Amino acid sequence: MKLYRSELNILSKWLSKPNRKPLVIRGARQVGKSTLVRQFAEVSNRFCLELNFERTPELSDFFNDKNPKQIMQKLAVYAKRPLDPNATLLFLDEIQAAPQVLETLRYFYEEYAELPVIAAGSLLDFVLEAPEFSMPVGRIEYFHLGPLSFEDFLTALGEASLVDWIRNLSIHDTIPLPIHQQCLDLVKQFWLIGGMPEIVAHYSQYHDFQETDNLKQNILQTYQDDFHKYGRTKQIPLLRKVFKTIPSLIGNTLKYANIDRDYKSTQVREALENLHLARLVHLVHHSNATGIPLGSTVNPKIFKVIFLDIGLQCAALGLDQLEIINGHDWAWINRGSLAEQFIGQALLKLNASYHTPELFYWVREKVQAAAEVDYIWQYKNSLIPIEVKAGKTGRLKSLHYFIREKPWSFAVRFNADMPSFLQETVKLPDGHPISYKLLSLPFYLAEQLERLVPLEGIIR
């Protein structure tokens, strides 16, 4: 089954650029990089010349010659067909297995720009971190790919009309309760199934929870089988421990001792960094949030993490899928902080595809005055605190402290309730009053945040 991915639109824009550069797709294994490129070539009516350097390492010999036109002439002989640059897409897959080929991309940009070139690699970040390797800066552009979005998941389930409705919904529209509940039920399904393409394709066709869980367990094992490729074999036991522990720690500021007290913090940090380079986890950095960009006030010692995919998180936690699907309340979502994982994935989707995926939060660790805002999101020249609440209710004490201390007076809350927009005025325990605007959105509108925030003068 072919899955529609909204990233096809981004690739189409890239292809039509007058100053197009070779594109390097970065992302974890099995997020669908190769399938996306093949599908893009098909919808673009181009022949996809696919070279997989992991499966066939000797293909790198074609690129010993730095002349791109001569390279393509030899590849035409190999492919046994003419390769018209206006009707061909050159796809260099698993390029981390032949990193020297990346250096030739500059010549394709400088001397053969009419030929579109896409490279992809699953553990590419390890290559880019190597001190002896130099990327052709200014001659390529990056494309960061993750799991399917919630809205693409809905499309795969045959809910295209519902996706159109979501994408055109205003917070002032009246939402019939049956549609609201239907959307929440679909959110629940996405949390359990996730956005890994193989899993979504199988679930959309068979709706078999047992088999989808089996497929997810296979993916989790595949990631662990890759650990020997990270560099240090002695670190593999710790990598496994960190990988298996992270799903239960999402939503909490990470303390190395909570993972394993038998290892030094430097060892745990190195293992975590390797999982981050493999895109299996994303770090959520604490930012002071006093100005933009958010990354300028990051404290690297204070951070949280989220997992690659919420469906894989559920599988790692061993949640009973049928019990959850048949349940009528949302109390279960506190297990593993799935709501926070879901919003984190949605915020990553809001990042431009050429930006390195980044997430931020704010925390104040003071005795008797601790506070934490789940996420801080930059919208143009403003910073927006985001709180994630289970069910329909939840206190906003930390958010109120944030509003008091920072120069921002607009906030977002995600929960299971109907959307609303309020002017809030509250008094803190010390009697200090604060006033701010609060946009409250149901989970199913998370990927519409960038569209809804500027509507109706909510924020300028």
pLDDT tens over the chain, length 460 residues: 789 999 999 999 999 999 999 999 999 999 999 999 999 999 999 999 999 999 999 999 999 988 999 999 999 999 999 999 999 999 999 999 999 999 999 999 999 999 999 999 988 888 877 766 677 778 999 999 999 999 999 999 999 999 999 999 999 999 999 999 999 999 999 999 999 999 999 999 999 988 999 999 999 999 999 999 887 767 899 999 999 999 999 989 999 888 888 889 999 999 999 999 999 999 999 999 988 888 888 888 899 999 999 999 999 998 876 666 666 665 555 554 899 999 999 999 998 888 889 999 999 877 666 789 999 999 988 999 999 987 666 679 889 999 998 888 899 999 999 999 999 888 887 778 889 999 999 999 999 999 999 875 566 5
pLDDT at site 327: 64
Nearest in space to 276 (alpha carbons), one of 135, 129, 140: 129
Q: Parallel, antiparallel, or unpaired for β 371-373 and 117-121?
A: unpaired
pLDDT at site 128: 78
220 to 229, 316, 353: CA distances (angstroms): 16, 8, 25
**Measured distance CA(348)–CA(363) in Å, rounded:** 20
**Measured distance CA(269)–CA(275) in Å, rounded:** 10
Q: Structure pTM?
A: 0.94
Neighbour-count burial of 15, counting CB atoms closer than 10 A to its CB (0-12 exposed, 13-18 middle, 19+ buried): middle
H-only helix segments in 101-176? 105-111, 124-129, 150-156, 160-168
pLDDT at site 336: 44
Residue type, 240: R
Q: Enumerate helices (H) and strands (E) in the chain, giving the number of each.
A: 17, 14
- What domains appear along the chain, each with residue ranges and CATH number? 7-144 (3.40.50.300), 152-457 (no CATH)
Q: How many CB atoms lie within 10 A of CB 61?
A: 10
pLDDT at site 40: 98
pLDDT at site 64: 92
Who's near 306: CB < 8 A, 6+ residues apart?
250, 281, 282, 284, 340, 341, 344, 345, 359
Integer-rounded Cα Rg, in Å, for the chain is 23
pLDDT at site 160: 97
